Amino acid sequence: MKVWEKAENLLSGRRAVVPAAGLLILSLLPLLLLGKYNVMCIDDYDYGRRVHDVFAATGSFSAAVQEAWRQNMDFYREWQGTYISCFLMAMCPMNFRYELAWVVPILMIGMLSASSFVLGRHILVRWLGCEKAGAAFAMALLLFVFYQVIEAPFEGIYWYNGSTHYVLMQSVWFFLLTLISESLWAEKKGRAVLCCAAAAVLSVIVGGGNLVTGLQAEILMAFLVCYAIFQKKDKIIYGIIPFLTGTAGFLVNILAPGNARRAALDVDEGYGVVKAVMLSFYHMAVFAIRWTPVLAVITWLALLPLLWRMAKAAKYDFSHPFPVTAGAYCVLSAMFTPTLYAVGMAGLSRVDNIIQVTYYIAALLVTTYWLGYFSHRTAGGSETAQGGDAENGKTAAAFGAFLEQAGSRMTAVCLILLLAVWALTADKNTYTSISALRSLAYGEAETFYEEAMERYALYTDEDLEEVVVAPYSAKPHLFTFDDLSEDPGYWLNLAVSNYYHKSSVKRIAGQGGAD
């Protein structure tokens, strides 16, 4: 009994946040340590070449920034309209110092985890009336699970170009959404004005990023404007201003001349608008199943008692569970629409990362809402209800009584099971932190980095015009990018040779190479 009493004390109130935060930090450390062996790759070369040349010639960071903007404008006219993403992708840290690739996972994990935590906690507290400590505990566990089963860890953590375009922009959007919401809820006018002003700036940034995040932003900002019209008429302006600036930025993005030029050259054919929308709903269901593995289910069970208690204590009616669920599903489905419309496919890994984290946050919030709906209708409601409603009320009351009685014990058991599944899984590459730890312990990461630096020495040798490199003898499981080909005309070989101004770059025969 003393063991369970200690567990209940540890998992109650503010003290519960400490072990959850500790678990999250512990799980992220191997991912960050693996980042020490990260390197420049894939599109980093094509997008960074001009900036790298200017900085190498002048040593001026200011001149490099100006060149990045000029390239950005060239891309806007000739290739794509994402005017913020293209600028940031040109400013790859490795353009200025090759060894700076370790900052990429720190930036991407830091931004996405912080923004997700802030947004999820804000909605739980402000919109659903939950306690702050419980909301923080829930978000810490959610982020732990997300980073263990993230769809494409390399694209979302280590690859600068791909993660900047999607993960970084989604992070900015999460911060933006929190700011708009806070401006509607803030009691002090000064705080509301400050949040609105910051949101107006960030909405332009989001509008110039990827279209998946941009479309999601347009939908939810429009919803907040409608909410303000009906519920907070005195604060409509705080919703309208960022919506207008964001919409202007989004229109500048999608109406770029480069988009039309690229579409004319692209061999991929997308679906029509109606079919793309319909298929989005289908793919959301498919990927929801895919993104709900055992680890996620155990975490959900661990959180049920806490979510029930918070929702029951909340001074909120929770009277619209079906519209809330349908709305969340529609927003998530809309994130599949741009790629289905543009290239006729879903499942682009670097895009899936941001849909997956949004799905986890939405699932947590919808679960809390449903628990609030049932908990607020079981206290005496079952006695006055009739027929099926009475039976449903009794069932909900019994379920609630079970969660209240199980309480922290259920959470503790599930967390122990969670840790067992996480640490003792047979395939050590199933979960990202275990995989990263394995690569570090076995020396794969260090060997890979040493060989990558040997290649870099050849790339920067001014006496070499034709560079021939050996295949990697080891590579961390999480570093899933394509290697150079034996064919010097392969696109990646050309990108590297152009970046370092070599006549040719190729890999000798052996393991590795382009997939």
pLDDT confidence of residue 23: 94
Q: Which of 270, 215, 290, 280 is nearest to 246 (CA)?
A: 215
Q: Which of 43, 160, 35, 45 is nearest to 459 (CA)?
A: 45
The rounded distance, in Å, linking the Cα atoms of 60 and 46 is 20
CB-CB contact of 311 with 366 (8 Å): no
Between the two ends of the chain, the Cα-to-Cα distance in Å is: 56
Rg (CA), the chain: 25
pLDDT confidence of residue 197: 97
The rounded distance, in Å, linking the Cα atoms of 396 and 401 is 8
Q: Which of 463, 88, 150, 401 is nearest to 291 (CA)?
A: 150
User: HSE on the CB side for 270, CA within 13 Å?
Assistant: 19
CB-CB contact of 90 with 79 (8 Å): no
User: HSE on the CB side for 100, CA within 13 Å?
Assistant: 11
Torsion sign over Cα 175, 178, 184, 188:
negative
Q: Which residues pair with 507 in a beta bridge?
A: 469
Torsion sign over Cα 290, 295, 296, 298:
positive
pLDDT confidence of residue 6: 56
Give the burial string for 81-90 (b: 16+ CB within 10 Å, else e). bbbbbbbbbb
- The domain spans of the chain are 2-36+102-421, 40-98, 442-507
Total residue length of the chain: 515
Tell me the pTM: 0.93
pLDDT confidence of residue 13: 58
The rounded distance, in Å, linking the Cα atoms of 53 and 41 is 17
CA distances from 457 to 200, 240, 272 (A): 45, 53, 49
Residue type at 386? Q
Q: What averages of pLDDT result for each successive group of 10 residues across the chain (515 residues)?
A: 53 76 96 97 94 96 97 93 96 96 97 98 96 95 98 96 96 98 94 97 96 95 95 93 97 92 73 92 96 96 94 91 96 94 84 97 97 80 46 76 86 93 93 97 96 96 94 95 93 96 91 47
pLDDT confidence of residue 7: 53
Element (H, E) at 355: helix 349-375
pLDDT confidence of residue 391: 62
